[in-house]
Amino acid sequence: MTVHRSIVTLRRARRIWAIGSIHGEARRLAALHAEMTPRLAYGDRLVYLGNYLGIGKPVFETISELLRFRRVFLSIPPFMDENDVVLLRGSQEEMWQKLLQLQFSNQPAEVLAWMLDRGVATTLEAYDGRAEEGFANAKKGVVALTSWTSKLRDAVRAAPGHEAMVNALKRAAVSREGGILFVNAGVDIDRPLSQQTDSFWWAGRSFSTIREPYEGFRRVVRGYDPDHGGIAETEATLTIDAGCGFGGSLAAYCLTPEGEVLERLEA
């Protein structure tokens, strides 16, 4: 597996398991993993499509389950490579990282309110943060706000594996040339792949305009639909979002590197 401009290329994949947005639903994630375990085989690859945090309260339990199953997956005989499991950055993880840098914002109170409205509140609470403290420190200025975000960073570092997981998140993944492009929510079809910047998690509402292969990829697969339209499949796209975190289930698809659907699981 190689990395180019934060986009991961899966190597020698026979099948690829792709899991949609989790949104802190640790129990559903554990149940889905249990369904997947007896089906796994050597040569499989695993791609989580972002949004592990936010919405649901069991943030720690969700990360623990992700780390646990990663160990299970990598133990498949004759043992996998650590890079055969890929976790993409989603909008929730992006907002959380921006919150940890809130002191650099020109309008920190407004930015914090915007993120809280979009689900980051449960992640903040998981690391012993309080929204009212954030707003209070935003009024006091940069020094106070920096002290507040530093405490949150310390809380992340104190949780085993959390900081390493966040630092390992990728922007996108591809199965092979002419195969699948995996993203969190969407792509800006007017830009080449190398210039997507944050479009992977914020361009979700233009996803339905993809009618033909983008950048030569047979299919673009995403894990989050901001309009909550459910699982949807076209010749050029696949949305793996069954509404987890919003009253729905958590879905996983098993795909060939060319984008053909082999199996679908839900929990």
Question: At 172, which helix (H) or strand (E)?
Answer: strand 172-174
* Residue 52 reports pLDDT greater than 80: yes
What was the pLDDT predicted at 129? 97
Q: Where does 24-163 show beta strands of DSSP type E?
A: 44-48, 85-87
Question: At 98, which helix (H) or strand (E)?
Answer: helix 91-99
pLDDT in tens, 151-175: 999 999 999 999 999 999 999 999 9
What was the pLDDT predicted at 56? 94
pLDDT in tens, 10-20: 989 999 999 99
- Strands 7-9 and 15-19 turn out to be unpaired
Task: Retrieve residue 246's tokens.
Answer: 């919003």
* Residue 1 reports pLDDT greater than 60: no
* Residue 83 reports pLDDT greater than 90: no
pTM: 0.95
Q: Please report the domains of the chain, with CATH numbers, ordered by start residue.
A: 2-90+169-266 (3.60.21.10), 94-162 (no CATH)
Compute, in degrees rounded to 10, the torsion defined by CA atoms 7, 8, 14, 19: -70
Dmax over CA atoms of the chain, in Å, equals 57
